[in-house]
A and B are shown apart, each in its own frame.
Chain A
């Protein structure tokens, strides 16, 4: 089981995956809003999403686990 940590602090603007989705490197997982910019957060690995730990509007810090992979 692998955990995906958030690269930066911000507010979750969009969640682009759900449990059961197969993801690959470069795929957008979340859109974060930080400092008036929309920043796509892309996956660096392959995997299957087990759990999405954040919702739209949540505040996340750098290093927070946002997605758990199987």
Chain B
């Protein structure tokens, strides 16, 4: 195991990684911007280094500075958390060159997942179902029309080199396809320097279900069941749970095996997540692989008893993965609510500011991963995630009831949070019945 690890992140995930290091007796090095002098991760780490002004480009994304600090502090490895540098293959390479271990997959695996058309080809070859469509980038509208006829409308037009929803457009007929093609081509060229596009069948009423995988440096890979992440707003997840109400043991086994094949096809190591779209008929399709620890990892931890961040550290330090697939069961049910500094009454507008009161209860089956404290000022420079509330129950109903109790007995003053939204969502019939598609929030407004 490492003696000392630098955490190249902030907020609740930096705190989470520090806790895992402490558990393993690893010393920790925090980094912080001018805006984060008082941050919790800075207070909790054994050492903390200032790395620049508040904008992330000049601080948390400053690769040279972070590597310099790691070397100066005598850290052997860097944990990138999620977001920021977590899926930056160039950063992982630079760490390697400087003799530092990047706690995540090897850069080649990250790159293989970065280029969407290439990822589709690899997955098809590995017998992982992909959304019906083509796997070659195309630049010709007539060819696109032909393909769309074969796939069947509606289709999604996407950029081959794309990601993050940029250069992505739905077309219900040939006329719309002509417009979508032109628009996506221009955007793909502007954003990714590559105008080639591909078509995918548009999946109606999809669920967003992902499979957690762990792989050691020798390529031994297991999956740790699914997480259901369909409750989203602005394409950002808000509530996650495990297991999914929609996944039966047969589907779980099939998706899990596909996720393991996906990871092995790219020589993946460390923790990762394979995202799938699942249609109402339970057909599942590979969407993408997230080559990092995910925000919602605690629901998997609570239902499998496996500490994923601890395994990230163990695997990165060269230990073999000793968990066996048949040992991974599902114990009860877990739900996570992301607590954001935003105002649900004002269209989820950000609400930075000083936290005058922060009282989070201690309850049975309740875990809070928190990045803030009473008296702390939430900066407008970073994302609005303050904390994650996770509850566990023997049944889904018990997990929901415990979450409602936790949310209702939490007191936050000084800033607005989305706690009231969570309470409304969890108390709805829609959520209770497990009808959580990606249209959940719109559906909720209609039914309430």
Q: On chain A, which size bracket covers the interface? A: 10 to 19
* Interface positions of A from 49 to 70, Cβ below 8 Å from B: 59, 62
A9 touches B353 (CB 8 A): yes
In the A-B complex, the 5 residue pairs with the smallest Cβ-Cβ separation, listed nearest first, are: A35-B350, A35-B384, A34-B380, A34-B350, A9-B380
Return chain A residues, CB-CB under 8 Å to B206.
Answer: none
Q: Contacts of B350 on A, CB cut-off 8 Å?
A: 8, 10, 34-35, 37, 39
> Cβ of B317 < 8 Å from any Cβ of A?
no
* Residue from the list B341, B342, B380, B383 in contact with A10, Cβ < 8 A: B380
Chain A: which residue is nearest B351 at the CB level? Answer: A8
Q: How far is the CA of A36 from the CA of B11 in the complex (A)?
A: 14
Q: Is the CB of A35 within 8 A of B353?
A: no
Chain B interface main SS type: loop
Contacts of A62 in B (CB 8 A): 353
Q: Does B24 contact A (CB under 8 A)?
A: no
A10 to B351 Cα, complex, angstroms: 10
Residue B115 at the chain A interface, CB threshold 8 Å: no
Which of B350, B351, B352, B353 is the most central at the interface, judged by chain A CB atoms within 10 Å of its CB? Answer: B350
Say yes or no: is B349 at the interface (Cβ < 8 Å to chain A): yes
Nearest CB in chain B: distance from A41 CB, A: 10
Measured in the bound complex, the distance between the Cα atoms of B380 and A11 in whole Å is 8
- Shortest CB-to-CB span from B216 to chain A, Å, is 34
Flag if A9 contacts B382 (CB, 8 Å).
no
- Of all chain A residues, the one with the shortest Cβ separation from B340 is A35
Nearest CB of A to B378, in Å: 8
Residues of B within 8 A of A (CB): 341-342, 349-353, 380-384
Contact sample, A vs B, 25 pairs, CB 8 Å cutoff? A8-B350, A8-B351, A8-B352, A8-B380, A9-B353, A9-B380, A10-B380, A11-B380, A11-B381, A33-B380, A34-B350, A34-B380, A35-B341, A35-B342, A35-B350, A35-B352, A35-B380, A35-B383, A36-B382, A36-B383, A37-B350, A39-B349, A39-B350, A59-B380, A62-B353
Instruction: Establish whether residues A9 and B352, one from each chain, have CB atoms under 8 Å apart when the complex forms.
Output: yes
Between B342, B351, B380, the greatest number of chain A beta carbons within 10 A of the residue's beta carbon is seen for B380
Find chain A residues with CB under 8 A from B380 CB: 8-11, 33-35, 59
CA distance A21 to B195 in the complex (A): 39
Q: 15 extra interchain contacts, Cβ-Cβ under 8 A, other than A34-B352, A34-B380, A59-B380?
A: A8-B349, A8-B352, A9-B352, A9-B353, A10-B350, A10-B380, A11-B381, A35-B341, A35-B342, A35-B381, A35-B383, A36-B384, A37-B350, A39-B349, A62-B353
Q: A11 vs B352: C-alpha distance in the bound complex, in angstroms?
A: 12
- Complex contacts, B382 vs chain A, CB 8 Å: 35-36
Query: Smallest distance from the beta carbon of B343 to chain A beta carbons, Å?
Result: 9
Chain B residues with Cβ under 8 A from A8's Cβ? 349-352, 380
Q: Which of A12-44 contact B (CB under 8 A)?
A: 33-37, 39
CB distance from A70 to the nearest CB of B (A): 28
Q: Cβ of A36: which chain B residues have Cβ within 8 Å of it?
A: 382-384
B347–chain A nearest beta-carbon distance, Å:
9
Quote the shortest CB–CB distance from B81 to chain A (angstroms). 15
When chains A and B are docked, how far (Å) is the Cα of A7 from the Cα of B352? 11
| B349 partner residues in chain A, CB cutoff 8 A | 7-8, 39
Contacts of B381 in A (CB 8 A): 11, 35
**In the bound complex, how far is the Cα of B311 from the Cα of A59, in angstroms?**
41
Looking across the interface, which residue of chain B has its beta carbon closest to that of A62?
B353
Closest partner residue, chain B, to A11 (CB atom): B380
CB distance from A34 to the nearest CB of B (A): 4
Chain A: minimal CB distance from B33 (Å): 14
B341 neighbours in A (Cβ, 8 Å): 35
Q: How far is the CA of A59 from the CA of B341 in the complex (A)?
A: 18
Q: Which residue of B lies closest to A60 (CB)?
A: B380
Q: How far is the CA of A10 from the CA of B374 in the complex (A)?
A: 21
Q: How far is the CA of A11 from the CA of B35 in the complex (A)?
A: 13
Least CB distance from A62 to B in Å reads 7
Distance of A9 Cα from B351 Cα, bound (Å): 8
Measured between alpha carbons, how far is A59 from B379 in the docked complex, in Å?
11
Alpha-carbon gap, A19 to B85, bound state (A) = 42
Chain A residues whose CB sits within 8 angstroms of the CB of B342 once the complex forms: 35
Q: How far is the CA of A7 from the CA of B346 in the complex (A)?
A: 11
